[in-house]
Structure formats: structure tokens, C-alpha cells
Amino acid sequence: MVLAAVIVLVPRMPRWDRVKKSFFDVEQMRDSLPRLIDAFWLDVKIFAWTTPAIFVLALLIALARNSRSPALFPVRAFAAVYTDVMRGVPVILWIYLVGFGVPGLGLERPYNSPLLWGSVALAMTYSGYVAEVFRAGIASVHESQRAAARSLGLSSWQTMRFVVLPQAVRRVVPPLLNDLVSLQKDVALVSLIGPIEILRQANIDKAKFANFTPFIVAALIFLAVTIPLTRLTDYLWHRQQRRTTGTRVAA
Amino acid sequence: MTAGPNNTATPSAAAAKVSLRGVTKAFGNNVVLRDFSLDVSAGEVVSLIGASGSGKTTVLRCINLLEQIDDGAVLLDGDEISSVGRDPNPVRRRVGIVFQSFNLFPHMSVARNITLALTEVLGQTTDAARDRASELLRRFGLSEKADVYPDQLSGGQQQRVAIIRALAMKPEVLLLDEITSALDPELVGEVLDVVRELKGSGITMLIATHEMAFAREISDRVCFLHGGTIAEVGAPSELFGAPRDERTKQFLRRVRM
Ligand SMILES: Nc1ncnc2c1ncn2[C@@H]1O[C@H](COP(=O)(O)OP(=O)(O)OP(=O)(O)O)[C@@H](O)[C@H]1O
Ligand SMILES: [Mg+2]
């Protein structure tokens, strides 16, 4: 309905012609598309190398927060402060702080690349969010599972590894994918400190041709990736729901 | 046999397989076990009966070191296992426990549930562990279920697998905590049959139970717990047939209705 109204009404607006020219210029699209796809490769690469780093870091933080030994109190406290600080500051600010700040310390090439430190900033912040997801998953595994494992003589680490974590991770796959969808978009923020990824390339094209169409193309490229990811998340979520909440009633 | 209000044929503590000496355990202000003492000799089957909240589960969890006691001592073969800072894992290899709620690992097949501790704790090879699991599954009539996941089993089958999982470690002592309480009545029999089969195999068993008929049939001695202490202990025929303690009489009247 709304969509139909937009399709019918928007072209009747008085300045539609001008907007159409500056946002939906077909020539411009054809010209920008290859360049933007090329630039998007950098986004994909940043995504690809930050994701494993995020998972490893987040898992370590979550395990630290779930440790029980009284001696490990400082570790728990550090993990708690870490997640609070990472989640309490906007991603973009971390990217500025780390991406400009660390290279500004006077590091040698290649260790002064904003691309490197921008990625590090992303990994840091996202590991804070993902750690909380893991922690919730670990907490959701019933204490009796631990009792059963410990009573068989498994150490607390073996209990975590063989009994708690596999169940925890299975339960949090949907929220994890959700975070990955956000990460996929936030990768573009790295452009703000220099690297020419898709958003920056679109901006360059826009300036060069005095036309906004490259932004539309960039948005479409993002959608082409995030929509399938989102659908996959939904699908896994529903499957999980069915498993844990029993058979659905018909209506 | 000589009958006493507190004791029947208690072996000397030194010869006892499991020995609780003056054990006290509190959760916050709630003192759950008070100066609790009991000796169980090797191969003996002792049942713990008593009202809900009387401390049966807590006794078993203390023996398995799943709870840390506040005072007293727990001994296994005369060796004090309850000392603070002692590694509980070697003890747990020798003392198995089966829970009311089965607590099978839902993400593992039946076979893996059984072999996990064999490979990871005892260091057996996958093949050896798998053989041990098959042998036990066959013995208890569950051969076809080896590769099935726990949620595809009936409650009775799940509990039998849980018992097998504990037995696979060849424990010297087996603690059974109301293993039939979560089961439909028609499934109780198959689980109790497993316990009957184990009696006399040399394994020492402590059984917390609400099944009075079963306790009477299977036990060498029965302990009636009240408020975290043993109010009365004796051979089943004495404790059920001629209880001495007023609280025992009351309890038995209530459960028999
Ligand atoms: N983890 C715990 N934290 C606090 N209180 C506990 C805990 N476990 C047991 N209790 C308390 O200890 C008391 C004895 O509990 P226990 O489970 O040993 O009784 P029980 O004889 O096994 O009872 P039931 O027949 O209901 O299983 C109860 O009052 C219970 O509320
Ligand atoms: Mg109990």
C-alpha cells in the first residue's frame, strides 16, 4: 500500500525531474557500478578479517566474565569494564580515536595504516557486543548440566568446552548473525578515516560528477548483501524457536 | 542382628567405604545438615528416606563434592576427601551420581554421553570407550539407541542412559538421587530393575528415594532423615516394620496413607 502510494505519487511531485536526474541517472549508474563494486571488495575484506578476530576476542571476554574462581576476580572485573566501555561509546568515535590516535603515535609503516587501526577499532567495539551475546548464551545453560559434567570428573574447563559452550553457541546463533549484519554496515564507517571503500568511493564519484546516483548504487550493493543475511537470521531464529518452544499451534 | 535406635551393624569407620563424620552444611542461614554422621561399608546399599527438604539430596551432593561442607569430614576408604583445596576430580571418578532430572547432554548422542568422560577424563581411546558404551547399552537393553539423541528417548530410557553413563566410569560408589521421581509410573519399573541388577555386583550404593517399597526391598539399611540429621537408621524390616522414633512413625503413616 505505502509502496504503491510512493510509486504513484512521488513522480508527480513538482521537482521529481530534478531528483530523478541527480539520484537515478542510469548513465551514471552504469559508469559508477564497476568502481563501486571494486571498492566494496575492501568492505568485504575488512568484514572478513575482523569477524574471526571479534569471535575469538568476544569468546575470551565471555569466558573471563563467566569464570568462577575467586582468584580470577581481577580478570572478571577487567572483562566487565571492557564490555561496558566498548558498548558505551559510539562505534564511530572508537574508529576516530583508534584510527587516528594510534597511527598518530608515530608508528612506522605499515603499522600506521588507518585501515589497520580502523579495523582494530571495529573488532574492539564489536567484541564487546558479541561477548555479551556469548555470555547470555553461557548463562542460559542450566546449572544441572554443569553438575552432571563435573560429577563425571570433567574439569571446569572441560565442562565449559564439551558441555556448556556447544549448547550456548547453538542458542545464540540468531543474535550473533544479527550482530554480523550490523557489522557489515558499520564497516563503511572506516571510510571516515581514509580507506577508499565503497562509501568513500561513492562520495568521490558524487563530487566528481555532481550527482547522487553513486549513493543509490552503494545502498543497493549493501542491500544485496544484508537482505540475504537478515533472511538467514530470521530462518535460523524460527528454526531455533520451533526447537525450543515445541510444535506451533495452527492459528 | 542387634537393633539399636541409632545403629544397626555399623562397620567401624576405618573399614567404611564412605563415611560422613559430623557433617554440617548450611545455605546462608539455612542449616541443611546438622552434625550428620553415617558409615557405609563396601558393597552395602543404604537408602535415605525422609520428607522433602530433609537433606537427602544434600548428603549425596556432599559425598560427590558438588557441595562444600562447612564442618565435619567426608571420607572415602578412610581418606578425607572433603578437605578444602583438594582436587575433586579424582574422587568423582570413583563416585558416580545419577540425578532426578537425568541431566543427559542434549547436544550429544546417547553413545557420546557415555563415552565423553571415558575419553576425556580416563583417557581411553575412542574405540575402547565406544566398546564399553555398547557393552553397557546391550546389557541394559538399549543397543538400538546408541546413536539417538536424548530428546528422542522416553524418560525411563533417558534415566537408564544416565545410570549407564555413571556406571561406565566403573565407580566404586554410586549415588542415586530420586531417580524415578520425574518418571511416569509405568516407566518406574524399568529403571528400578537396573538398580536391582546392580545390587550384589559389589558396588556401594546410596539411594535417596520416595519409593518406600523399593527402599524396603533393595536396602541393607534405611536411614530416616529429619531436619538434616538421621532420626533413625536400621534394617528395612525394623525401620518399616517396627519404627522406634516418633517422627519415623509419623512420616511412614503419612506416606502410606
Ligand atoms: N543450592 C541451594 N541453595 C539454597 N538452599 C538449598 C540449596 N539446595 C538445597 N537447599 C535447601 O536445603 C534443604 C534440603 O534440601 P535437599 O534438596 O537436600 O532436600 P531433599 O531431602 O533432597 O528434598 P526432596 O525430597 O524435595 O528432594 C532445603 O530446605 C532446600 O531448600
Ligand atoms: Mg532431593
User: Ligand 1 center to residue A239 CA distance, Å?
Assistant: 37
User: Ligand 2 center to residue B208 CA distance, Å?
Assistant: 7
Residue A53 CB burial class (10 angstroms; 0-12, 13-18, ≥19): middle
User: Ligand 1 center to residue B39 CA distance, Å?
Assistant: 22
User: Ligand 2 center to residue A156 CA distance, Å?
Assistant: 24
Chain centre to alpha carbon of residue A139? 23
Sheet holding B229-234, edge to edge: B95-98, B173-177, B204-208, B45-50, B221-226, B229-234
Q: Which residue has the higher pLDDT, A104 or A118?
A: A118
Chain centre to alpha carbon of residue A9? 36
Determine the Cα–Cα distance for residues B162 and B152; give it in Å rounded to an integer.
14
Residue A77 backbone dihedrals phi, psi, to 5 degrees: -65, -45
B56 lines ligand 1 (CB under 6 A): yes
Residue A6 backbone dihedrals phi, psi, to 5 degrees: -60, -45
B86-115: buried (b, 16+ CB within 10 Å) or exposed (e) per residue?
A: eebbebbbbbbbbbbbbbbbbbbbbbbbbb
B2 lines ligand 1 (CB under 6 A): no
**What's the pLDDT score for residue B139?**
92
**B23, B48, B56, B64: which to mutate for ligand 1, most atoms within 8 A of CB?**
B56
Question: Is A34's pLDDT higher than 70?
Answer: yes
The alpha carbon of residue B110 is apart from the nearest alpha carbon of chain A, in Å, by 14
Name beta bridge partners: A178.
none
Q: Which residue has the higher pLDDT, A17 or A186?
A: A186
Closest ligand 1 atom, CA of B225? Answer: 21
Rounded to 10 degrees, the C-alpha dihedral B114/B120/B123/B125 comes to 60
pLDDT digits (tens, 9 = 90+) for B51-87: 999 999 999 999 999 999 999 999 999 999 998 888 9
The alpha carbon of residue A69 is apart from the nearest alpha carbon of chain B, in Å, by 12
Rounded to 10 degrees, the C-alpha dihedral A58/A145/B171/B122 comes to -20
For residue B136, the enclosing domain spans: 2-254
Q: Supply the CATH number for residue B184's domain.
A: 3.40.50.300
User: Ligand 2 center to residue B50 CA distance, Å?
Assistant: 10
**What's the pLDDT score for residue A235?**
85
| Contact between chains at A152 and B99 (C-beta distance less than 8 A) | no
| Contact between chains at B66 and A170 (C-beta distance less than 8 A) | no
Domain count, chain B: 1
Mean pLDDT score, A200-221:
82
Q: Which residue has the higher pLDDT, A141 or A245?
A: A141
**What's the pLDDT score for residue B244?**
92
* C-alpha cell belonging to residue A155: 574439569
Closest ligand 1 atom, CA of B61? Answer: 18
B27 lines ligand 1 (CB under 6 A): yes
Residue A152 backbone dihedrals phi, psi, to 5 degrees: -85, 0
pLDDT < 70 positions in chain B: 1-14, 257
B54 lines ligand 1 (CB under 6 A): yes
The structural domains of chain A, ordered by start, are 17-245 (1.10.3720.10)
| Contact between chains at A166 and B107 (C-beta distance less than 8 A) | yes
**What's the pLDDT score for residue B7?**
42
Q: What are the chain A neighbours of B167 within 8 Å (beta carbons)?
A: none
When CB atoms are compared, the residue of B66, B106, B165 closest to A150 is B66
Q: What angle do CA A216, A181, A177 make, to 5 degrees?
A: 160
Grid-cell match 569471535, residue found? A55
**What's the pLDDT score for residue B8?**
41
Q: Which residue has the higher pLDDT, A92 or A20?
A: A92
Chain B residue with minimum CA distance to A170: B107
Q: What are the chain B neighbours of A150 within 8 Å (beta carbons)?
A: 66, 88, 92
* C-alpha cell belonging to residue B162: 544416565
| Contact between chains at A167 and B106 (C-beta distance less than 8 A) | yes
Closest ligand 1 atom, CA of B208? Answer: 22
* C-alpha cell belonging to residue B146: 546408541
Name beta bridge partners: B225.
B50, B230
Q: Which residues surround ligand 2, an ion (CB under 5 A)?
A: B 57
**What's the pLDDT score for residue A209?**
80
> Whose atoms come closest to the Cα of B48: which ligand?
1
Question: Is A11's pLDDT higher than 60?
Answer: yes
Chain B residue with minimum CA distance to A246: B151
**What's the pLDDT score for residue A46?**
87
Determine the Cα–Cα distance for residues A23 and A211; give it in Å rounded to an integer.
7
* HEC-encoded secondary structure of B201-245: CCCEEEEECCCHHHHHHHCCEEEEEECCEEEEEECHHHHHHCCCC
B122-131: buried (b, 16+ CB within 10 Å) or exposed (e) per residue?
A: bebeeeebbe
pTM of the model: 0.84
Q: Do A227 and A133 form a contact (C-beta atoms < 8 A)?
A: no
**What's the pLDDT score for residue A245?**
56
Q: Do B99 and B57 form a contact (C-beta atoms < 8 A)?
A: no
